[in-house]
Structure 1
């Protein structure tokens, strides 16, 4: 049988936490500007397509 020990990700070799934070910040920016863009598009559609 295989052993099912918990993996300690915080202590694992090769974790690149600064790269993780940079990727997360990029994702947050993408979501923020993407949401803003959709709101602007919907508002413009409401103005010009009615």
Structure 2
């Protein structure tokens, strides 16, 4: 069986993917809030 050393795995790809997901989520929430505010102002 292979020997595993804690903390030795390269997680750079996972970190970049997570950062992209968080950025997408934040931008989506901002767009949705702007649309809701716009609809509230103009009684859509």
List gaps (5 residues or longer) in structure 2: none
CA RMSD of aligned residues (A): 2.0
> Which structure is higher in RCO with an 8 Å CA cutoff and minimum separation 6?
1
List gaps (5 residues or longer) in structure 1: 1-7
Bigger Cα Rg: 1
Alignment: residue pair count: 39
Detail structure 1 runs of 4+ shifted over 2 Å in the superposition: none
TM (normalized to structure 1)? Answer: 0.65
TM (normalized to structure 2)? Answer: 0.72
